[in-house]
Amino acid sequence: MWNKDFLLGVATAAYQIEGAATADGRLPSIWDTFSATPGKVLHGDTGDVACDHYHRWEQDVDLIASLHVDAYRLSISWPRVMDAEGNPNRKGLAFYKRLLKALRERGLKTFVTLYHWDLPQHLEDAGGWVNRDTALRFADYADLVSRELAGLVDAWATLNEPWCSAYLGYANGHHAPGKQDIVFATQAMHHLLLGHGLAVRKLRANDPGAQVGIVANVGRGTTNGGSAADRRAAELFEIQHNNWVLDPLLKKQYPAALWELWPGAQPMALDGDMDIIGAPLDYLGINYYFRTNVVSDGAHGFTEVPLAGVERTQMGWEVYPQGLYDLLTGFKRNYPQLPPIYITENGTASDDKVVDGAVEDPQRIAFLSRHWTAVDSAVKEGVDIRGYFIWSLMDNFEWAFGYERRFGIVHVDYATQARTPKRSAQLVKRFLADRARRE
């Protein structure tokens, strides 16, 4: 797996690291609004400053390059590059041009995500992703950004984790904009995927030298129940978590079993929508973190039943590398049109502290090693996997959990903005230096 063509990179997202929430014409996003709402984010944290990457980007590019990684995955802040009328914000665009050029100069490949959850608030005020017009506005945004940044991007991703945007944002309210209606969620998902398909056309036209894909978070569902209903519950978990996104993209249809779970929640779709959504992809990004154990709820769904005695991360998520292997090999079997895969996020949160100038993070080191083994096993089973991105480059704003949960291989002191590579970062650097010498 670890040949010169297999990429190892690190990843971040704009709202989680940039800060500078009102600088240079940036407009409010739904996460600015959500995190400023009391009770929505742990400790009342916001992304107003975050890692101050907007002002410290040169230092951070040096940091990335020092790790000897092959690639950097980042996202564009939609409210930083367009005004409410859809006109370009030149100062915001200039920031990304400088950043991408500097990354290229350091020999790093650039993987750029257009939408990592920071919808402009003015679009949410008009209905957000429940409103079909937002998909059209997203295509306009993709058109602008890909024209401006053409030639500076190796691989575009339209969306990051549309499941989270739709379900966490519109069904259970854990994420911005905090709505709680499954009908809103299924309609939002349809418009997210429609926006993806419309954006694919713009990206291919404006930047034909770049790859075009999308990033999906996937979850392994298992059961410790012994009944057929329990086994069906585990299947339904994966259908709503994985197939809800992947079937439209790769089969041009929603899985019928979704409506067992959510009767009456079918989205309104127009003729031709599924052909737009199912536009061919150059790659599929896969984000994986944990598995979920479920049993039947006694009706037509599932109930989560956490397993006892298993290893868990600071997030409370079970460490289960086997789930990544199971999903990757399963996707190869179930999707004849499966494009090449990049693992675009995989990592763990731990309560890391600087002690005598060093940060020891043994759980993360073990987590990464075991998941790399799972990826290698999937490659040996014939799954076409082209690269792996560690989440995350550095500790950052972890959405509804604020700054308490630390995913970075680089520690960030939020009071001073000091960056301290953790032991995991040092080992990644050493591994890649050794690989370069072998080649």
Residues 67 and 105 sit within 8 Å (Cβ to Cβ): no
Residue 391 burial (10 A CB sphere; 0-12, 13-18, 19+): buried
Quick one: DSSP state of residue 406?
A: -
For the chain, state the CA radius of gyration: 21
18, 124, 148, 161: the active-site residue: 161
Tokens 């999906």, located at residue = 216
- Known catalytic residue at 161: yes
345, 360, 381, 439: the active-site residue: 345
For residue 29, give the nearest of 78, 88, 83 by alpha carbon. 78
Binding site: what residues are annotated? 16, 116, 160, 289, 391, 398-399
What Å distances lie between residue 405 and 218, 331, 351, 396, 425, CA to CA? 21, 30, 7, 8, 17
Q: Give the integer Cα–Cα distance in Å for 10 and 167.
A: 26
Which SS3 state, helix, strand or coil, does residue 352 take?
coil
Tell me the CA end-to-end span of the chain in Å, nearest whole number.
14
**434 Cβ contact list (under 8 Å, min separation 6):** none
Which SS3 state, helix, strand or coil, does residue 79 take?
helix
Catalytic residues: 161, 345
